Structure 1
Amino acid sequence: MTLTTGIELELWVIDEHGCLCGGRQIADAHERIEPEFVGPLLEVRTAPRDSEVALRRDLEDVLGTAIRAARAEGKRLVPLGTPLTEVDDPAPSERGELFERIYGDGVRAAKNCAGTHLHFERTEPTSQLNLLTALDPALALVSSSPYYCGQRSQRSARAHAYRRECGTAFTPYCDLWSYVDSVAEWEDRVDRAFESFTSLAAERGVSPSRVERAFTPEDAVLNPVRLRRCQPTVEWRAPDAALPSEVVSLAADVGGLVAQTEEAPVTVGDPGVYDDRVGVPAFDDLYDLSRVAIAFGLSPEPVRDYLQRFGFGCSTYDPLSERLGGSEAVSEERAREMRLEQARRLEADVAGLLDVEPSPPSRVEEA
């Protein structure tokens, strides 16, 4: 990893019985712990770091603080893509309240999803946007929950719900966007999407002036890949919340690929990393493969073959959703037990976060 990379990891808050509960007071323990969209959800962040070792140290520091603060309150933290059963808490912020009014029933998906956001230093933004779009199937490496609102859904229930359960009017703001030829084209898409979002809001009784006070164009689009103007970074939002060690490994693997865009063009063609280029598939083919990865995880051979072409060692990842989907439905009692199990796994994972060997550089496939 040569580009600076930052991690944002969302975590559910539970009490000693495994019930979801508020965690805003935990955020007071560290400047890089933030309350999220609903009360039982927090986000922990690293600073931008230029090595996997530095990312591990930073994440271990922030998460260790968060875990200790939670335990002092009789609470635990859980790294799952969904809370397994439904969260229906009201959104505590003005922005959250507006999302509820604008999205209506579609806001249920946002309230029941926890993800990982990776921020890569912006150097070749067009190539970075297109490559991160093409890496969407890599979300299967860390899919952590097959359940959405109590029912078995897909291997990444979060990705499916976030992109598809928000309602047809809002899918364009949450689904994967196609490749672009320039930053100007991307920014024009964002601006046009914001205009449409403002019009939808007006239909639901929220004035354009209020929308503009609460949102920026880039904040209104929640797609798996975003170009951040203020940081400046290219943000990859495809993966579920997962164990920190796997999140850091994924950040290192993806960061190594993103760094190659400084030297090699990203071209549509035969997918994989070559001496003189990084190849990505036609977008329609990618979109179909991404849907397979969301639905079935790493099980389908085309998903594994595709990821291996980019140097991912699929066998080095252990996506939790592969092991959680035994029954068609999950009861509230079982969900509490599962959350407690994953809280224990998180604590053990953080305790060993600095003992893990850094990932080797992504393997390069010869042309």
Structure 2
Amino acid sequence: MDIQVREVPTVGVEEEYFLVDPVTRSVVSAGPRVVAHAAAEVGDLVSEEFTGYQIEVRTRPCTTMHELRVELARVRAAAVSAAGREGLRLCASGTPVIAPDRASDVGDHPRYRAGLRQYRAMLGDFDISAFHAHVLLPDREQAVLTGNHLRPWLPLLVAMSANSPFHHGSDTGYASWRSVIRSRFPCLGPPPYARSLAHHEQLAAAMAASEAMLNADMPYWDIRPHPHLPTLEVRSMDVPAEVGDTVALTALIRAMVVTAARRVGEGDGGPEVCSELLRAGYWRAARDGWPGSGIDILTGTVMPFADQAAQLVAYVRPVLEEYGDVELVKAFLERLETRGSGADVQRSRYAAGAGLNAVVDGLLQATDSPGITAAGPVTVQ
């Protein structure tokens, strides 16, 4: 394969948020109304999600991380304004901190209804919010093999983005309870190792035939060539509360994708790491998060996530330097070292304030301030 990644690939992100009553701090089913309000300003960049308690925003393709930061701040601000018209606030957390007053209100979409028929009670508390990063990679064969290289690093991304320690009023003891909820599904989590695009499609077809997956053409694995876009999508992360964290993680993910794609171009199909070990790595990352320790999938040893992150940055540093993103990623790692992950921030607020209400209020403030990031204020046009 002689395909090379020479030009700077564009990136885009998707973020999912909960709609929260600022008085009760509970989630509210108002997704369709909020999306209708946002459409006048940003069109289809704000859409409905699996439950009526949620909405999703997406950015247009961006080349630089500054451009992405401005674009994400713009669509977040539009969503904040739209929610405000319903008397609601946006909450960027992987799970609802406080329980809703009724069962999950599933959105009116044929795919969601099909999921209910297929997975039944497993979807009873599937109110989770994620962050997805897209990196331009038009060749699907190359994208699948690139994913093989990314698989060992997925637990680290879970730990770095962990932002769901509370669920329906309880401290779960985990950093990413969203990851635990997802782990019960046979079609979610790390993708299988694939020798080729044909092998990838064969595995997806077998999963769909068993009814473990809804649709072979749209697998929900945590790395996938997007079914409709010329991108490789990485889907393992909790939604961060702060725009700056989303942007820094996207910069790191782009460097991972480009580094791996170049190795694929040199004939390296990626390491065939053990799937059971990879799932164990997910579990450990979801439980302990940053700054704990987890399984280094490439060696099978347990080591601090900070050391794993240092290894990853060293691995992709040439690409980070090429695109001018080294300092952005370095600042993000420094934030993790000083304040911890989003899960640590939530627990710190719980301990220092008025319990769960303080946790929600901190999340609302962080989500409602999309123009302020670790890089300073952003002017939103």
Instruction: State the TM-score, normalizing by the size of structure 2.
Output: 0.76
Alignment of 1:65 onto 2:78: yes
Report matched runs for 1:138-157 at 5 Å. Answer: 138-153=157-172, 154-157=174-177
Residue 307 in 1 paired to residue 309 in 2?
yes
| Residue 189 of structure 1: how far off its partner (Å) | 1.1
SS of match in other structure, 1:103: helix
Q: Deviations over 1:63-116 (max 9, x none)?
A: 111112222322110010000234423313133222222211100242x21111
Q: How does 1:232-311 map to 2 (within 5 A)?
A: 232-242=230-240, 243-265=242-264, 282-283=273-274, 284-298=276-290, 299-300=292-293, 301-311=303-313
Deviates more, 1:279-288 or 1:183-192: 279-288
**Residue from 350, 365, 368 that aligns with 1:347:** 368
Q: Separation in 2 of the partners of 1:52 and 1:342?
A: 23
> Could you tell me how far apart the structure 2 residues matched to 1:79 and 1:291 are?
22
Q: Is the 8 A contact 1:148 1:161 kept in 2?
A: no
Pairwise CA distance, 1:286: 3.8
State the partner residue of 1:208. none
- Tell me, in whole angstroms, the C-alpha distance in 2 between the residues paired with 1:183 and 1:277: 15
Deviations 1:203-224 (A, max 9, x none): xxxxxxxxxxxx64233x3222
Report the aligned-residue RMSD.
3.0
Which residue pairs with 2:300 in the alignment?
none
Aligned residues: 323
Counterpart residue type for residue 26 of structure 2: C
Matched letter for residue 77 of structure 2:
G
Moved more, 18-27 or 251-260: 18-27
TM-score normalised over the length of structure 1 = 0.79
Q: Is residue 2:195 matched to residue 1:188? A: no
1:321 aligns with 2:312: no
Which deviates more from structure 2 when the two are superposed, residues 95-104 or residues 69-78? 95-104
Q: Are the equivalent residues in 1 in contact too, given 2:131–2:239 (CA < 8 A)?
A: yes
Once residues 96 and 33 of structure 1 are traced to their aligned partners in structure 2, the CA distance between those partners, rounded to angstroms, is: 18
Report the Cα distance in structure 2 between the residues aligned to 1:238 and 1:38, rounded to whole angstroms.
19
CA separation of 1:92/1:286 partners in 2, compared to 1, >3 Å: closer, same or farther? closer
Per the TM alignment, residue 145 of structure 1 is displaced from its structure 2 partner at its CA by 1.4
| Residue 80, structure 1, aligned to residue 90, structure 2 | no
Offset at residue 52 of structure 1 (A): 0.7
Shift of residue 355, structure 1, vs aligned partner: 4.2
Identity rate, percent:
20
CA distance 1:327–1:345, change in 2 (3 Å): closer
Matched, 1:10 2:16: yes
CA spacing shift, 1:286–1:129, aligned 2, 3 Å? same
5+ residue gaps, structure 2, are: 1-6, 294-302, 314-328
Contact 2:14/2:56 (8 A) holds in 1: yes
